[in-house]
Amino acid sequence: MRVVIAEDLALLRDGLTRLLTAHGFEVVAAVERGDELVDALLTHRPEVAVIDVRLPPTFTNEGLWAALEVRRQVPGLPVLILSQYVEALYARELLADAAGGVGYLLKDRVGDIAQFVDAVRRVAAGGTAMDPEVIAALLARPQRAARLAGLTPREREVLALMAEGRSNGAIAARLVITEKSVDKHISHILDKLGLAPSSTDHRRVLAVLAYLNS
Amino acid sequence: MRQQWTWTRYLFLGGVSGLGAWVGLLLYLFSLGSAPIFAAGVPLLLFVAVPALHGLANVERARAGHLLGTPIPRPYGPARRGLLTRYADMLSDPANWRDVAWLCAHTVYGPAAALLSAALWSSAAFGITMPLWWAVIPDHLAGSVFYGISVDHLSGALLAIPAGVAIGIVAWLVTRPLALGEAHLARWLLRPTTKARLARRVEDLTASRAETVDARAAELRRIERDLHDGAQARLVSLAMSLGLAEEALQTDPQAAARLLAEARGSAGSALTELRDLVRGIHPPVLADRGLAGALEALAMQSTVDVEADLAPLGRLPAPVESALYFTAAEALANVAKHSEATHATLRLHRSGGSVHLEVADDGTGGADIDRGSGLAGIAGRIGAFDGRMTLTSPAGGPTVLHVELPCES
């Protein structure tokens, strides 16, 4: 799978390259500046891009702007944004185009290599990978909290994992329940929130995130 | 019409306080003169005459300030301890002598202006109602002359009406300059001199600078302690786990795997602690998006429903952005913790060379700057920028925190 990496710190850039190569990805470009990133993405058209949010020259949210810009030109180009901190505000901006193929994770998550590689694959396949911290922030918002009060604790757990972008199988494994009961929980949740069941997992996740973000 | 009444009332009350000024002036001069001679003169001066002087002057400051629409600040320095010290302070403080100068002027101007105004208005009223008087008490008017008009017959009494109107017009025209003259005189003599204002400013700045320096030092100590107890300790434990894992790798691979998992946990905790620390020093979203963006993110994070109304101000100086951001963060945290509010509003706008930030909630109120170190911290932070913070929080709510920072656009 072809991937472009954007990370300004050489130590982390090499680490990411090594990690992804070891898991069967082909790193076609590893850039260190935000202004090079847009070009690199448009030239290489990778299957997924792993981008640090803070890049030179401004060292602010250059990486996020570049990702949004490229997705304006190439809708749905999968991007996974890594950051030392997460803001629900940025997650909303990333999800605004509802095209899917979006990830937003804390850099810490790279430490759990299996999970991280899974997230990259999920994003590349058009899925979603939202950091649990983002989801927690969205669930805690008062307008939501009132309407989510009708969910059972287990349903809230399922909702959080679903919003992170995990598949039914992953949710079942995580909560140590059967996939069938995950299915049941999800249909209850969608019912209670008044969301239409969707044909694909990705669409469903996007609907849930849009709901949480609204 | 209402303004005429305001000015006239000002003049009349000025007349009353002018009479009080006589008492104050005589008392002051007597005790001032007696102080070097009798021992009792000094306390009489310090505890009776000077407070009376300041009281009269403060009443006039309030009256004139109200009439002119701009408050007149009090020029007195803080009172020091010790009878003789205060005596010396009193003699050397120019504010006292300016008060005395005003008092002298007011003993004359106040009653004179009040009398003139009273005479004009009452003459006008008398002239206009002359036929009535002529009809009711003709005997008393026999041989009377009203401004050159003989009024002991009806035609004369009727002729007094236009004369009364003319006097009324004069009174109407004269009242305003008389009142404003009195108020301007008071302002000129009673406001702090430029030198006194600058001296006061230097004192304020010295105090706020000391506060800022203290706050910075405390902040650095906190960061040092957080690093020492948090991330540094985690990294030490990480290094230990790695070292042990290295040793166990050959002999006990299972233990090595467990130690490695522990090491990863330590690394994760260290990152979490560093992230929290960085947020407290300079929130990354503030660096990325400026004040309006950072406040929007803050509003999104709050556990209370926050309605944000944020004018795009462009980038402000970084310290100003930081002060306003932490003010809003502290205020919203207070709303969430103490107010029991369900709804809050966050407003940011610029007007008249200042940036205004307002946090309001519909909670139970009763917030107090002096209780709770958070608000006092905000006040100190805002004070360092010459800003102003006002908190209104009656019991039962609502609570409104308003912060104003001067900022040239």
Q: Rounded mean pLDDT of chain B?
A: 85
Q: For residue A141, give how far its alpha carbon lies from the nearest alpha carbon of chain B (Å).
A: 6
Per residue in B320-329, pLDDT (tens digit) is: 888 899 899 9
Range in A39-43, B106-110, B158-162 the model is least confident about: B158-162
Residue B156 has pLDDT above 60, yes or no: yes
The predicted structure's pLDDT at residue B346 = 94
Residue B408 has pLDDT above 80, yes or no: no
Residue A116 has pLDDT above 80, yes or no: yes
pTM: 0.64
The predicted structure's pLDDT at residue B126 = 86
pLDDT band at A199 (very low <50, low <70, confident <90, very high): low
Chain A positions in Cβ-Cβ contact with residue B267 (cut-off 8 Å): 108, 111
Residue A55 has pLDDT above 80, yes or no: yes
The predicted structure's pLDDT at residue B373 = 61
Q: For residue B271, give how far its alpha carbon lies from the nearest alpha carbon of chain A (Å).
A: 7
Residue B409 has pLDDT above 60, yes or no: no
The predicted structure's pLDDT at residue B347 = 94
The predicted structure's pLDDT at residue A23 = 92
Highest mean pLDDT among A19-23, A135-139, A186-190, B84-88: A19-23
pLDDT band at A49 (very low <50, low <70, confident <90, very high): very high
Per residue in A56-80, pLDDT (tens digit) is: 888 888 999 999 999 999 998 999 9
Chain B positions in Cβ-Cβ contact with residue A59 (cut-off 8 Å): 287
The predicted structure's pLDDT at residue A202 = 73
**B314: three-class secondary structure by DSSP:** coil
Residue A197 has pLDDT above 80, yes or no: no
Strand pairing of B149-150 and B145-146?
A: antiparallel
The predicted structure's pLDDT at residue A180 = 92
CA torsion angle B41 B43 B48 B49 (round to 10): 50
The predicted structure's pLDDT at residue B372 = 64
Q: For residue B266, give how far its alpha carbon lies from the nearest alpha carbon of chain A (Å).
A: 11
Asked if A168 contacts A182 with a C-beta cutoff of 8 angstroms, the reply is yes
The predicted structure's pLDDT at residue B5 = 87
pLDDT band at B117 (very low <50, low <70, confident <90, very high): very high
The stretch A97-122 carries a mean pLDDT of 90
Beta strands in A112-212 (DSSP E): 128-130
The stretch B181-195 carries a mean pLDDT of 88
Judge whether B297 is closer than 8 Å to chain A, CB to CB.
yes
The stretch B276-296 carries a mean pLDDT of 87
Highest mean pLDDT among B138-147, B219-228, B289-298: B289-298
Chain A positions in Cβ-Cβ contact with residue B305 (cut-off 8 Å): 142-143
The stretch B266-272 carries a mean pLDDT of 87
Q: What share of chain A is helix, strand, coil (3-state, %, to 5)?
A: 60, 15, 30
Per residue in B352-407, pLDDT (tens digit) is: 788 999 999 988 888 877 766 677 778 877 888 888 888 888 888 788 999 999 87
The stretch B37-47 carries a mean pLDDT of 80
For B304, the closest chain A residue by CA position comes to A142
pLDDT band at A119 (very low <50, low <70, confident <90, very high): very high
Residue A43 has pLDDT above 90, yes or no: yes
Chain B positions in Cβ-Cβ contact with residue A108 (cut-off 8 Å): 267-268, 271-272
CA A105 from chain center: how many Å?
Answer: 6
The predicted structure's pLDDT at residue A82 = 93
The predicted structure's pLDDT at residue A65 = 92
User: CB contacts < 8 Å between A and B, how many?
Assistant: 50
Which of A109, A95, A99, A93 has its CA nearest to residue A50? A109
CA distances from B138 to A134, B127, B130, B154, B156 (A): 96, 15, 10, 10, 12
- What are the DSSP calls for B99-139, one per residue? HHHHHHHHHHHHHHHHHHHHHHHHHHHHHHTHHHHHHH-HH
Report the residue from B284, B296, B304 with minimal CB separation from A85.
B284
The predicted structure's pLDDT at residue A123 = 94
Residue B38 has pLDDT above 80, yes or no: no
* Sheet architecture: strand order including A48-52: A26-31, A2-6, A48-52, A79-83, A102-106, A128-130
Report the residue from B279, B289, B304 with minimal CB separation from A142.
B304
The predicted structure's pLDDT at residue B79 = 75
Residue A105 has pLDDT above 90, yes or no: yes
- Burial grade of B360 (CB within 10 A; 0-12, 13-18, 19 or more): buried
Chain B positions in Cβ-Cβ contact with residue A112 (cut-off 8 Å): 264
* Greater pLDDT, B77 or B255: B255
**A125: three-class secondary structure by DSSP:** coil
Percent of chain B with pLDDT over 70: 99
Residue A130 has pLDDT above 90, yes or no: yes
The helix (H) or strand (E) run that includes residue B86 is helix B83-92
B284/A88 Cβ within 8 A: no
Q: For residue A86, give how far its alpha carbon lies from the nearest alpha carbon of chain B (Å).
A: 9
* Greater pLDDT, B10 or B45: B10
The stretch B127-139 carries a mean pLDDT of 81
Q: Rounded mean pLDDT of chain A?
A: 88
Helix residue ranges per DSSP H, A25-112: 34-44, 62-73, 88-95
Residue B33 has pLDDT above 80, yes or no: yes
Backbone torsion region of residue B309, taken as left when φ is above 0, otherwise alpha when ψ lies between -120 and 50, otherwise beta:
beta
B275/A85 Cβ within 8 A: yes
The predicted structure's pLDDT at residue A201 = 72
